[in-house]
Structure formats: structure tokens, C-alpha cells
Amino acid sequence: MVSVAILGAAGGIGQPLSLLMKLNTNVTRLHLYDIVNVPGVAADISHVATNSEVKSFLGPSKLPDAVTDIDLAIIPAGVPRKPGMTRDDLFKINAGIVKGLVEAIAENSPRAFICIISNPVNSTVPIAAEVLAKKGCYDPRRLFGVTTLDVVRASRFVKDIRPKVDAATLRVPVVGGHSGTTIVPLLSLASPPVELSEKEVEELTNRIQFGGDEVVKAKDGAGSATLSMAYAGARFADSLIRAQQSGVAVVEPAFVALDADPEGAAEYRNLGAGSLRFFAVPVELGPSGIKRIVPLNATISTYERKAIAVAADALAINIDTGVAFATPPAAQE
């Protein structure tokens, strides 16, 4: 029995993500919540011939029911970018949305896994952690910023310049955060290995860091990545569900609290994460969420080390912004 709530289910990501979760045969109950249009989305998806039950929840008065008795909440609620905006420009609106949704989850399903898609992920995840801590139910092993799209892009963009590579099985670890230069692909650790020149590494790194901008530009005011994000979000959710159900080790990247596994985090701290509370790392998932942070067990290049240092400076600011929003400085004393 796996109950999944999608909050923001009527949106550009929410709709295809809801469909993909309806197709996931491990899911038994699907709660679709939004502040607009969700009854139609739920009615439509409920006709798909899989065994799960789909329920619609429209508007804030239905939010508590939407997040009662759920195992997993996926949050793509909030505004997307338009050309010329950074993800941080979304903070003003999305910070409050994420805070409210996570409060409701904490009150009604305090043990649920929470996957946050809403940007800026580098700040919305710290907000969620603060909210959960205040409600007395924070478990760093159960909270995830979804960065799967960065590794999905990394695999696909390598394929663009090395056509013989299998994009579906190539794995490139991506660490740091989820915006611009905080996204650090470790191309030197691609598996299976890919030979790349210095120039190719620089170009690919830049493309992976700013892949979201390609879509924002192409959509020309109509939003940002939705379909590839729905694919990435569904893949992450499926990994989490499979790991919980079967106990089989599944590894995915995510922006998580490093204290979910202090021992595993040590290597990343040495590589430049330093004292940051949150960082995107590969995590091994298990029945209780994060089982461990997966070590790289390899030397990264000087270029990658420098990129991590740049990412860490920006991340420190993003994380502080999120924490200060959820717990204003006076309350932190």
C-alpha cells in the first residue's frame, strides 16, 4: 500500500507527473491537490486502467485531507521562471507556498517522505527542514530536494557529443545544488568512463549548469521544464518507493541535509561542502529514506574542485535565505 500526494498537481509538471505516478503499479492511492483545475485533472487520470485510486482535492480547505495518511508527498507547486529570471527570483512567491504545504504534511502525515521540486530548491529544502523541526517531526533521511533532472541532463548531453554512449545507462554524479553554478557535474567520474577534452568538459559543465535556461528560452515566457522534470520526478519517486518496498539498494542524487549521514558526508565536506547543512549528493535509499550518502571513492579533477568551491559560496547564501525565512533571525537565538 503506497499513498502518494502530488501538491501542485494541475500545473505544467504536476499533470504529467500525476499521470506517471498513476502508471506506477506500486502506487495504490493518488491524492491530487492544487488551488485550481485539479478536479478535471483527477477525473481524466482516474480513467487510466491501473489499480490505484485517484482523489481530487481543490483549495486550501482540502489540503489537510489531501495530505492525511500519505507515505510520500511530491511538491511541484509554485511559479516557474520566465526569460531573464533566476531561480532565486521565484523565492518571494514559492517560499511561502512550500512553507504552508510542508506545515500541512507535518500536521497530518509526519512520517511521510517529502520530495521538493519547487524552486529555488537550494532554499525551499532548508525552509522545509525548519518547518518540520518546529513541528517536531524532522528526520533528515526523509526530506529530498529533487535534483534528478541534473543527472538526467548530464547523461543526455554527453550522448549529444558521444553518440555511441547509452544515455539511459550512463551515470554522471552531479553534486552541489540546483541552480546555475551550484550544479557541479563530476564528468571525470562518469560511469562507464567517457574520455573528454578539457574544452569539452568546460562546455558540457556549462550546458548542464544552465540546461534549465535552454528550456526557459525555448518556451519563451510559457514556463520552464515540465515534461523532462515530470520524468525525473517520477523516476526519483519510483526509486524511493522501490527502496522502501523491496529493501533493494537504489542510488539517486538529491539535495539533502548532510547530517542524514555524517560519516558519508565527510568526503563531500572535504571536497568543498565544508560546513554547509545541505548539499546535493548521491544517496542510497532504503525503507527509511536515506540509508547512506554514497562515497565517490575517487579523486576528482582540479576543475571540479574549483567548481565545488564556487558552488559552496552561493549555496551558503541560498541556504541561509531559506532558514531565515522559516525561522527569522530573532527566533534563532
Ligand X SMILES: O=C([O-])CC(=O)C(=O)O
Ligand Y SMILES: NC(=O)C1=CN([C@@H]2O[C@H](COP(=O)(O)OP(=O)(O)OC[C@H]3O[C@@H](n4cnc5c(N)ncnc54)[C@H](O)[C@@H]3O)[C@@H](O)[C@H]2O)C=CC1
By the criterion CB under 6 A, which residues form the site for ligand Y?
7-8, 10-14, 33-36, 76-81, 90, 94, 97, 101, 117-119, 121, 146, 149, 178, 223-226, 229
d(C-alpha 110, C-alpha 132), whole Å: 8
Closest residue to bound ligand X by CB: 212
Nearest approach, Cβ of 301 to ligand Y (angstroms)? 25
Nearest approach, Cβ of 139 to ligand X (angstroms)? 25
Q: What is the dihedral of CA 193, 199, 201, 203, to 10 degrees?
A: -140
Q: Is 12 assigned to a binding site? A: yes
C-alpha cell at 299: 579523486
Binders of ligand X in range 129-158 (CB under 6 A): 149
Out of 22, 99, 141, 178, pick the active-site residue: 178
Q: Give the residue, chosen from 5, 17, 175, 215, that forms a contact with ligand X under the rule CB under 6 A.
A: 215
The verdict on whether 31 is a catalytic residue reads: no
Nearest approach, Cβ of 94 to ligand Y (angstroms)? 5
Closer residue to ligand Y in complex, CB, 145/194: 145
266-293: b or e for each residue (b if 16 or more CB lie within 10 Å)? ebbeebbbeebbbbbbbbbbbeebbbbb
List, in order, residues 6 or more apart from 115 with CB less than 8 Å away.
72, 73, 74, 75, 144, 146, 233, 236, 237, 240
Binding mask 26-65 for ligand X (x = CB under 6 A): ----------------------------------------
Closer residue to ligand Y in complex, CB, 52/122: 122
Closer residue to ligand Y in complex, CB, 78/173: 78
Nearest approach, Cβ of 187 to ligand Y (angstroms)? 19
Tell me which of ligand X, ligand Y, none is bound by residue 12, counting a contact when its beta carbon lies within the kind-specific cut-off of 5 to 8 angstroms.
ligand Y
**CA proximity to 176, closest of 321, 293, 308, 297:** 308
Nearest approach, Cβ of 41 to ligand Y (angstroms)? 9
The sign one gets for the Cα dihedral 158, 224, 8, 25 is negative
C-alpha cell at 242: 522501490
> Does the footprint of ligand X cover residue 225 (CB under 6 A)?
yes
Tell me which of ligand Y, ligand X, none is bound by residue 7, counting a contact when its beta carbon lies within the kind-specific cut-off of 5 to 8 angstroms.
ligand Y
Binders of ligand X in range 248-307 (CB under 6 A): none
Contact 255, 178 (CB under 8 A): yes
Nearest approach, Cβ of 153 to ligand X (angstroms)? 8
> Does the footprint of ligand X cover residue 212 (CB under 6 A)?
yes
Q: Where are the alpha helices (DSSP H) in the chain?
A: 14-22, 38-45, 63-66, 91-108, 121-134, 148-161, 198-209, 211-219, 227-246, 262-268, 302-326, 329-332
d(C-alpha 9, C-alpha 32), whole Å: 5
Q: Is 87 assigned to a binding site? A: yes
Q: Is 153 assigned to a binding site? A: yes
**CA proximity to 294, closest of 282, 303, 278:** 282
Binding mask 63-82 for ligand X (x = CB under 6 A): -----------------xx-
Secondary element (H or E) of residue 254:
strand 250-257
Q: Which region holds residue 257: left if phi is over 0, alpha if psi is between -120 and 50, else beta?
A: beta
Q: Is 275 assigned to a binding site? A: no
> Does the footprint of ligand X cover residue 15 (CB under 6 A)?
no
Catalytic site residues?
A: 178
The residues binding ligand X (CB under 6 A) are 80-81, 87, 119, 149, 212, 215-216, 224-225
Q: Which residues are annotated as a binding site for NAD(+)?
A: 8-14, 34, 94, 117-119, 229
